[in-house]
Chains A and B, each alone.
Chain A
Amino acid sequence: MTATEIIVLVVAIAAIILVVGSIALVAGRKRVGPPTTPSVDSGAPDAALTPSPDQPLIVESSAPGASTTTLERPESIASRLVRLRQRLSGQGALGRGLLLLLSRDPLDEDTWEAVEDSLITADIGVGPTGELVEKLRERLRVEGGGADQAKAILAEELLALVDPGMDRSLNLVGPDGLPGVVMVVGVNGAGKTTSVGKLARVMVAEDKNVVLGAADTFRAAATEQLKTWGERVGVDVVAGPEGSDPASVAFDSVKEGLDRGADVVVVDTAGRLQNKQGLMDELGKVKRVIEKQAPLSEVLLVLDATTGQNGLIQARVFSEVVDVTGIVLTKLDGTAKGGIVVAVQRELGVPVKLVGLGEGPDDLAPFDPKTFVDAILSA
């Protein structure tokens, strides 16, 4: 096949639509929307791969001597975890609700339905919810017991769904002394740039030498946003002009990292919706170009905790294109439960590695399934 077939088919369909359209809707319907004026958007998508002389790459270097005094010192991992637990337990409505339901005696159909409902409300998804409820039912039938057992079993099953056995550490070391290269991807507005900024702080706290690559050349002021993050902790940001080829910026970022012997290079990419083939191809190219110099040690997909069932499709498509190795779950400090994580892990086996807990610069913590479930269940 078959591209020919698709085209012929589409043209045929278009012809039909046109017949339908011209007859049923009358040609020249008044448009209520904006006229299709040519876009004012000046982003030139495909510049040359290697930077041309008239597009100089800027490497914003903050002088190390002067900045050490003003640089912020990021928070340590341990104290972050405490905060994570607090934040989650503060809004463990799901767990509380569930336990309340489960301690009802006897467990009738209504109760079970209510259990199912509260799981669905957490965005866990219809499939995993069904499985979880089925397991709970069976175990309660076999093992018997009242509310306290129910709680333990629930915790166990929830934990099994989140799967604590997965390796959730970030792989930040490249082979043969090469720097670890981390690429951050995701849909628009998930929190990629913010996560990259926070991630850089974590690495600085671990005394790593970090270079950031601002390969989001599409969105207005994305580069500046990342630079602001970099300046706060004294990390250099490699950037190109707006509208330039992101792959070229990514290439130069890794090159910069290699040249100065950095420990880690983190490349931020533009947000893209997973159903835009052109943009996904572009992302594939960014990855290939990066790998010309050093293999990617981590590809992190940033998922917004408020995302519903579409999160699964996002994870699936991004995984196909760039082999996602870990997930950063952001905005978990809101009312959203982030239940989509469960579905994503279950289907793709990609672990959640980090969680974003707010707008503060140090609100990024490693994801710990036990803490996660405990916090959810502690009422």
Chain B
Amino acid sequence: MFTTLSDRLQETFKGLRGKGKLSEADIDTTAREIRLALLEADVALPVVKEFIGAVKERARGEEVSQALNPAQQIIKIVNEELVKILGGETRRLRFAKNPPTVIMLAGLQGAGKTTLAAKLALWLKDQGKSPMLVAADLQRPNAVNQLQVNGERAGVTVFAPEPGNGIGDPVAVSRQAIEEAKRTLHDVVIVDTAGRLGIDEELMRQASDIRDAVNPDEVLFVVDAMIGQDAVNTAQAFLDGVGYDGVVLTKLDGDARGGAALSIAQMTGKPVMFASAGEKLTDFDLFHPDRMASRILDMGDLLTLIEQAERTFDAEKAMKAAEKLSGKGGEFTLEDFLEQMQQVRKMGSLTKMLGMLPGAGQIRDQLENFDEREIDRIQAIIQSMTPFERQNPKAIDGSRRARIAKGAGRSVNDVNQLIERFFEARKMMESMARGGNPMMPGMPGVGKRSKSRQAPKAKKGKGARRSGNPAKAAAVQAARDEQQATAPGAAFGLGDQGVPDDFDPSQFPDLSKYLK
């Protein structure tokens, strides 16, 4: 049921490849598949219809009929359209000329406002602001308490003059809060309001009263990424009732595809500004439209993965490993492997990382059974080897294996398996690294191919220039193009490479076979 859109389209276009031209019927079939995929991702129906219209229009145009692979071209169009809607107006928070800047949070019950308030406060604090949290949720039992605890964790002042649990007037509290912030020189005030339903007139009036009382610079609508078709109703109700300037998507660390983001952005024209993904207060970031687009289409989240890798990986070591893989700096040894593994470890849960890979939705079941501690066991095996053995894995013979197994407390079979897999993996990595270009080729022809291939290469030559320049934007765009172009079937784009068939991480059906 949850096959990816790319797989579906690929199926649709089977037998069609090579013809090079799409008939009207083909486009209709394609449109149906896209419609299904979007509906399963919880994109609201009216938005789906509009969206399909736009895609159909473009699919009839030249760019598709001239492409060698219509399926990929259409996916590219879908992705572009998604990014266009999601990212049309991405912008930063507006800060008031005369502090305090007032940010008000509103949303349904259980959307995650109170947690988000603390996350936002911590985020602002890290940017050198001095935020103050205001407990204006006096409805839910102990919401005030929760905000206080969270505020304490974030190291942020919490203004909570009323005990909550139905006692106190949130409008008055909010009004006092502004005075308090001025007096205590806080430059940002975050007002956490009670959850309310869009159809609850009384509470909506209260929310607009709060808004009028504090005159916020930003009203943020907090919405759960899991929300279904009701997203449009709710978003509209809040827009009419309170009005808001931006949207925050929460619980993105779940496996909901988050079509609501698209629905809300399209229906209301308000940008999604932040994304909150995780239980920790630091799990909060700006919203990235391109990643959300990939997620809605279940194309994985390579960019986040790369970014995460960059954050944790030692750049120098990384370059060294990269050189080794491309055959310049000697062989990739078990020593390097161990180092890599420890770096990977630092990045967090392996399952989470695998989950970010394109198409991983299909192997989620297998991933669930994965024991993270296995990594320790493998580490134990490698550490039971002598430095000589680590440098020369080929020299590990039977008796050495027996010794290593004893030393690591594992069976010889485990050692065998590790060494065997290591060789296979090395072969794969090398063939990819030597593939001729850094992003790895193999994506079937797309019109812009040569251009997107060039960009990252050129970038390499320029070394470690900082972001913010157009070249970087181009590189990111190129990477994105690459990702889109290679997405169907070949996540890393090694479809046509001479890689052993059973060891191709991009062919996820293969991978799932491999993972059993």
Contacts and interface: CB of A to CB of B under 8 A. Distances in A.
Interface in B114-157: 115, 122-123, 126-127, 139-143, 145-150, 153-155
B286 A28 contact: no
B16 interface: no
A127 B1 CA distance: 9
Contact of B109 (A122, A222, A310, A359): A359
Identify which of B108, B141, B464 gathers the most chain A CB atoms within 10 Å of its CB.
B141
Interface stretch (B3-11, B240-248, B349-357): B349-357
Given A12-B428, A189-B224, A277-B368, A23 B460 contact: yes
A76 B482 CA distance: 62
B515 interface: yes
Given A29-B472, A190-B110, A275-B355, 15 more contacts: A14-B347, A17-B306, A19-B433, A26-B467, A28-B466, A127-B1, A218-B279, A219-B115, A224-B142, A225-B142, A273-B255, A277-B368, A306-B227, A335-B198, A336-B234
Most buried by B among A21, A40, A187: A21
Contact of A228 (B45, B142, B149, B417): B142
B404 to A, nearest CB: 14
B312 to A, nearest CB: 8
A16 interface: yes
Nearest to A31: B311
Contacts of B428: 12
Given A11-B344, A191-B110, A219 B146 contact: yes
A188 B112 contact: yes
A26 B371 contact: no
B260 interface: yes
B237 interface: yes
Contacts of B354: 6, 10, 13
Contacts of A189: 109-112, 224, 251
A111 interface: no
B489 interface: no
A220 B340 CA distance: 37
Contacts of B462: 26
Contacts of A28: 310, 315, 464, 466
B257 A310 contact: yes
A77 B350 CA distance: 49
A335 B227 CA distance: 12
Given A34-B122, A41-B281, A333-B197, A8 B422 contact: yes
Contacts of B378: 4, 7-8
B206 to A, nearest CB: 13
Contact of A334 (B197, B254, B425, B426): B197
Contacts of A127: 1
A123 B229 contact: yes
28 contacts: A4-B374, A9-B505, A9-B514, A10-B344, A10-B353, A11-B341, A11-B425, A13-B505, A14-B347, A18-B309, A19-B438, A21-B309, A22-B310, A23-B439, A25-B475, A30-B468, A34-B282, A34-B285, A35-B126, A123-B230, A225-B145, A275-B254, A304-B110, A307-B228, A308-B256, A310-B42, A310-B255, A335-B198
Contact of A91 (B127, B199, B254, B465): B199
Contacts of A339: 228-229
Contacts, number: 343
Interface string B92-116: 0000000000000000111110010
A144 B475 CA distance: 63
Contact of A221 (B139, B146, B231, B377): B146
Interface residues of A, number: 91
Contact of B234 (A120, A219, A306): A306
A62 interface: no
B83 interface: no
Most buried by B among A25, A37, A274, A276: A25
Q: Which interface residue of B228, B281, B378, B465 has the most chain A CB atoms within 10 A?
A: B228
Given A29-B307, A191-B109, A191-B110, A14 B340 contact: yes
B13 interface: no
B91 interface: no
Contacts of A277: 349, 351, 367-368, 370
Contact of A26 (B44, B112, B459): B459
Contacts of A197: 141
A309 B139 CA distance: 29
Contacts of B364: 275
A315 interface: no
Nearest to B375: A7
A26 B472 CA distance: 8
B77 interface: no
A17 B309 contact: yes
Q: Shortest 8 CB-CB distances between A and B: which pairs?
A: A308-B228, A189-B110, A308-B42, A3-B374, A220-B149, A310-B256, A221-B146, A221-B145
Contact of B108 (A15, A278, A334): A334
Interface string B309-333: 1110101001101100110000000
Contacts of A20: 306, 438-440, 479, 492
B220 interface: no
A338 to B, nearest CB: 9
Contacts of B432: 16, 19
B464 A18 contact: no
A69 interface: no
B226 interface: yes
Contacts of B305: 17
A201 interface: no
Given A20-B439, A123-B229, A225-B140, A306 B515 contact: no
B140 to A, nearest CB: 7
B516 A335 contact: no
A16 B429 contact: yes
Interface in B164-178: 165
Nearest to A190: B110
A27 B110 contact: no
Contacts of A27: 310, 315, 318-319, 464
Contacts of A222: 142, 146
B400 interface: no
A6 B515 contact: yes
Nearest to A279: B279
A94 to B, nearest CB: 11
Interface string A106-150: 000000000001001111001100000000000000000000000
B180 interface: no
B510 to A, nearest CB: 11
A278 B351 CA distance: 10
Given A1-B516, A24-B439, A224 B230 contact: no
A251 interface: no
Contact of A1 (B227, B322, B355, B515): B515
Contacts of A5: 417, 421, 514-515
